[in-house]
Amino acid sequence: MITVNENFLKLQAGYLFPEINRRAAAFAKAHPEASIIKMGIGDVTEPLTPAVVEAMHRAVGEMGKRDTLRGYGPEQGYAFLREAVVEHCYRNRGVSIEPDEVFISDGSKCDTGNLQEVFGLDNVVAVTDPVYPVYVDTNVMAGRTGPWDKAKGQYAGIVYMPCTAENGFVPDLPDRPVDLVYLCYPNNPTGAVATAEQLKKWVDYARENKAIILYDAAYEAFITDPDIPHSIYEVDGARDVAIEFRSFSKTAGFTGVRCAYTIVPRGLKAWRKDSSSVEIHPIWSRRHCTKFNGASYISQVGAAAVYTEQGKKQIQEVIDLYMDNAAVMCEALGKLGYAVYGGRNAPYVWIKTREGIGSWEFFDLLLQRAHVVCTPGAGFGAAGEGYVRFSAFNLPNKVKEAMERIAKL
Amino acid sequence: MITVNENFLKLQAGYLFPEINRRAAAFAKAHPEASIIKMGIGDVTEPLTPAVVEAMHRAVGEMGKRDTLRGYGPEQGYAFLREAVVEHCYRNRGVSIEPDEVFISDGSKCDTGNLQEVFGLDNVVAVTDPVYPVYVDTNVMAGRTGPWDKAKGQYAGIVYMPCTAENGFVPDLPDRPVDLVYLCYPNNPTGAVATAEQLKKWVDYARENKAIILYDAAYEAFITDPDIPHSIYEVDGARDVAIEFRSFSKTAGFTGVRCAYTIVPRGLKAWRKDSSSVEIHPIWSRRHCTKFNGASYISQVGAAAVYTEQGKKQIQEVIDLYMDNAAVMCEALGKLGYAVYGGRNAPYVWIKTREGIGSWEFFDLLLQRAHVVCTPGAGFGAAGEGYVRFSAFNLPNKVKEAMERIAKL
């Protein structure tokens, strides 16, 4: 008799964004005249830049000719892209990463979801609260948690580290031992950043406690403050204890193109039950090569074009546009008296709703009365209750209109 | 202390194709003058067809304009592609599949590797021997097997079903209960096909024993015999017990483009430990949406172009070219006295080596003396020992030259 993986049955409700889309679609159907402004899911609105488009046309052309066709590529990604990543994302900041430590993939959602597979089911997982739901849900599926505790809004067995205005949305060290720590900075959803000192504290913790940090740096391109690290490897000792995820999705408008990468440093170790150590690099490489067949050649060529002179310049203009949006939102929402966080080194603005109004209640209110879609903070965890997230990925005139509509409420 | 998933440590040697590439590269380095003909990995040699190239250029253009940019798509795939799959792959053969039962992905390797996640770890897995290594390795990683048994060349806990010339490389029903059965027809590596009667026997077995069949039909486009089913759903009752995988990789030259799909019929069930049943469709959907962010829009547009009038015609010409290669190989190797299998409804030719010569020994012999790369049958399982696989994916003149070189040995 074929049995189901009952861990999947612990999962609560729908994944956050499908639920948002469902409510927005139901409202749109009931009010076809309403012009809805979507500031919920963080999806890009600016097109691919000319350098990327040109490179991808070239790649498509190559695929249509026998002499230049590319079939199966290296599962870990083409050398041209792995080398460009090292050169333009790490060496330029004095960080030592080798091309064979770069694993190209089709997305950070996949990478952050899949990476946990190489670790034992007995590890204690720590996540921030609020948190990107994929980190938690994929550990639930794997069986690293107990059941859902409805009263707490949490899964048993996971260590939730509250991120509040008091700690600047960077968690304090946990009060009990944890093995696998998910950190995301610039943070989704709060827009907070971590300083080198804050990251150092976590790297030291991991080294002392034989823990591993899964560091999601998908939004590093939006950092404007020169003192904020773009990579956890800017902190001494991080290579031994941290795996870093990055993506072209938000950096270069690749949400529909699909390309990302993960750094697994050689030398980073986990332990067997008999206390002997084992390197993770070859294990992740084996996993990647066995369950994945490489990102599309066309996507990889497009991604490499991001690192050309023209590519860099064009990407920066798009990032600036989004960050101008974030500044507009911070100012408008601040003027309305909301406590506003993020939006300075991240494309997300995180605000506290009015006293006593829940996240989903505020979401429904904005949808129904301002026809604006935000993301309820409660969807990211119990500590997100009473907050909502606005995405800066939008057209500037839409952002301004949304702010005007909210001001009129 | 972070522990490793020790199941990964059970995995043997490298994955088959990296090992082949390693040996071929070492030989090429030592003999730079040798012109090596690669008939090992089944990678396409014909370029994308004009209809696909044109569609992908259009898609790239759309991504470069604000009004037509596509960001995150539906994780399960765009409706235009899911509907085209239903129309041109199932309805045209009288099979009832709905578009929402089609899950678009970036490859069948990923799909066949990931699908096992939704089932319990206590299930008994049955595979053919020889077998596509991904089915086995991903179950080893998940923990459904015991250690590697070196003497048998098998993992403990897996039921290996020998496929031999005697049973036409379609396995007999197992002599003990199994829960999850991997079948692949047209078969990789043997090139065998399963008749409707043979599939019916398996569907009946699954229905009677509450088992599920994971049916890999990645090579269905190469079937030439009109009596051979292209889909397991052509067999009555299969919707309740079978999940089917298909790919654009070999059908349309998409090995570097990445697009495939999986059919998970509504109504197909697995069981909880308390013997109550649960539908797999919503569980797979949740898995797919949580750990995957959709295939590239550009790849999906290219895939849809395969189903246009021009697309179908162009694809068929390429398939005919490969199947002509297969016919040349069958004839040449048959004339040399080898027992030759496959190659009539599949792009793989499977031959028995001379008595007493092992697969890897024959591989090395062909590489060193004919400069031809094949795939050692032993790499696909213990029962593949003494066989090698030749791929028909090659240029016709290379195939002819390879056959001439082998004839001279």
Could you give the CA distance from residue B302 to residue B392 in angstroms, rounded to a whole number? 24
Strand partners, A243: A214
Fold held by B53-308: Aspartate Aminotransferase; domain 2 (3.40.640)
Please give the torsion angle defined by the CA atoms of residues B281, B284, B288 and B290, in that order, rounded to the nearest 10 degrees. Answer: 110
Q: Which residue do the tokens 């979801």 mark?
A: A113
- The percent helix, strand, coil of chain B (3-state, each to 5) is 45, 15, 40
Closest partner residue to B291 (CB to CB) among A56, A138, A273 is A138
Whether A347 contacts chain B with CB within 8 A? no
Mean pLDDT of A331-353: 97
Chain A residues with CB under 8 Å of B281 CB are: none
Could you give the CA distance from residue A12 to residue A348 in angstroms, rounded to a whole number? 25
- What is each CA distance from A221 to A145, A224, A320, B256, in whole angstroms? 33, 8, 10, 28
Chain A residues with CB under 8 Å of B15 CB are: 286, 289-290
The answer to whether residues A263 and A288 touch, using CB atoms and an 8 Å cutoff, is no
Chain A residues with CB under 8 Å of B1 CB are: 179, 209-211, 271, 275
Whether B74 contacts chain A with CB within 8 A? no
Whether A18 contacts chain B with CB within 8 A? yes
Strand partners, A129: A162
Chain B residues with CB under 8 Å of A243 CB are: none
Strand partners, B215: B183, B244
Is B64 in a helix, a strand, or coil? coil
Tell me if the pTM is above 0.95.
Answer: yes
Nearest CA in chain B to A16: B290
Residue B86 C-alpha, separation from nearest chain A C-alpha, in angstroms:
23
Phi-psi region of B355 (alpha: psi -120 to 50; beta: other; left: phi over 0): beta
Q: What is the DSSP string of B190-226?
A: T-----HHHHHHHHHHHHHHT-EEEEE-TTGGG---T
Chain B residues with CB under 8 Å of A66 CB are: 45-47, 395
- The percent helix, strand, coil of chain A (3-state, each to 5) is 45, 15, 40
Q: Which has the higher per-residue pLDDT, A153 or A323?
A: A323
The answer to whether residues B232 and B264 touch, using CB atoms and an 8 Å cutoff, is no
pLDDT tens readout for residues A172-185: 999 999 999 999 99
Answer yes or no: do B60 and A56 touch at CB < 8 A. yes
Whether A179 contacts chain B with CB within 8 A? yes
Interface size between A and B, measured as CB pairs under 8 A: 280
- Banded pLDDT at A1 (limits 50, 70, 90): very high
Could you give the CA distance from residue A38 to residue A5 in angstroms, rounded to a whole number? 36
Answer yes or no: do A1 and B271 touch at CB < 8 A. yes
Is B109 in a helix, a strand, or coil? helix
Q: Which has the higher per-residue pLDDT, B355 or A333?
A: A333
Chain B residues with CB under 8 Å of A290 CB are: 15, 113, 133-134, 137-138, 141
Closest Cα partner for A231 from A240, A317, B38, A221? A221
- The helix (run of H) or strand (run of E) holding residue B373 is strand B372-373
Whether A270 contacts chain B with CB within 8 A? yes
At residue B19, the pLDDT reads: 87
Chain A residues with CB under 8 Å of B126 CB are: none
At residue B347, the pLDDT reads: 98
Closest partner residue to A293 (CB to CB) among B107, B122, B273 is B107
ipTM, interface predicted TM-score of the complex = 0.96
**Which residues of chain B are modeled with pLDDT < 50?**
none
Whether B253 contacts chain A with CB within 8 A? yes
Could you give the CA distance from residue A190 to residue A185 in angstroms, rounded to a whole number? 9
Mean pLDDT of A206-221: 98
Nearest CA in chain A to B132: A290
- What is each CA distance from A33 to A187, A240, A374, B160, B332, in whole angstroms? 35, 56, 19, 61, 70
| pLDDT-above-70 percentage for chain A | 100
Write the burial class of residue B278 (CB in 10 Å: 0-12 exposed, 13-18 middle, 19+ buried). middle
Phi-psi region of A386 (alpha: psi -120 to 50; beta: other; left: phi over 0): left
Strand partners, A291: none
Chain B residues with CB under 8 Å of A41 CB are: 72
Domain limits of chain B? 7-47+310-408, 53-308
Closest Cα partner for B348 from B225, B219, B162, B230? B219
Answer yes or no: do B120 and A286 touch at CB < 8 A. no
Answer yes or no: do B141 and A53 touch at CB < 8 A. no
Whether A336 contacts chain B with CB within 8 A? no
List the CATH code of the domain at A53-309.
3.40.640.10
Q: Which has the higher per-residue pLDDT, A51 or B164?
A: A51
pLDDT tens readout for residues A86-114: 999 999 999 999 999 999 999 999 999 99
Q: State both tokens at A139.
A: 């550990």
Nearest CA in chain B to A65: B47
Nearest CA in chain B to A55: B60
Closest Cα partner for A41 from A20, A22, A25? A20
Q: Where are the beta strands (DSSP E) in A81-132?
A: 102-105, 125-129
At residue A19, the pLDDT reads: 87
Whether A50 contacts chain B with CB within 8 A? yes
Whether B111 contacts chain A with CB within 8 A? no
Answer yes or no: do A272 and B9 touch at CB < 8 A. yes
Is A341 in a helix, a strand, or coil? strand
pLDDT tens readout for residues A231-252: 999 999 999 999 999 999 999 9
| Same CATH fold assignment for domains B7-47+310-408 and B53-308 | no
Phi-psi region of A94 (alpha: psi -120 to 50; beta: other; left: phi over 0): left
Closest partner residue to A70 (CB to CB) among B64, B107, B256 is B256
Whether A114 contacts chain B with CB within 8 A? yes
Whether A380 contacts chain B with CB within 8 A? no
List the CATH code of the domain at B7-47+310-408.
3.90.1150.10
Quick check: A117 pLDDT over 80? yes
Answer yes or no: do B298 and A296 touch at CB < 8 A. yes
Whether A10 contacts chain B with CB within 8 A? no
Closest Cα partner for A248 from A257, A231, A260, A256? A260
pLDDT tens readout for residues B181-209: 999 999 999 999 999 999 999 999 999 99
Whether B365 contacts chain A with CB within 8 A? no
Is A37 in a helix, a strand, or coil? strand
3-class SS letters over B5-21:
CHHHHHCCCCCHHHHHH
Quick check: A14 pLDDT over 90? no
Please give the torsion angle defined by the CA atoms of residues B8, A71, B99 and B187, in that order, rounded to the nearest 10 degrees. Answer: -70
Closest partner residue to B141 (CB to CB) among A46, A73, A287 is A287
Could you give the CA distance from residue A300 to residue A193 in angstroms, rounded to a whole number? 29
A375-376, strands of its sheet edge to edge: A340-342, A348-352, A387-391, A375-376
Answer yes or no: do B41 and A70 touch at CB < 8 A. no
Whether B257 contacts chain A with CB within 8 A? yes
- The helix (run of H) or strand (run of E) holding residue B104 is strand B102-105
Answer yes or no: do B15 and A289 touch at CB < 8 A. yes
* Neighbouring C-beta atoms of residue B335, cutoff 10 Å: 11
Whether B330 contacts chain A with CB within 8 A? no
Answer yes or no: do B47 and A60 touch at CB < 8 A. no
- Confirm or reject CATH 2.60.40.1190 for domain A11-47+312-408, answering yes or no: no
Could you give the CA distance from residue B123 to residue B118 in angstroms, rounded to a whole number? 11
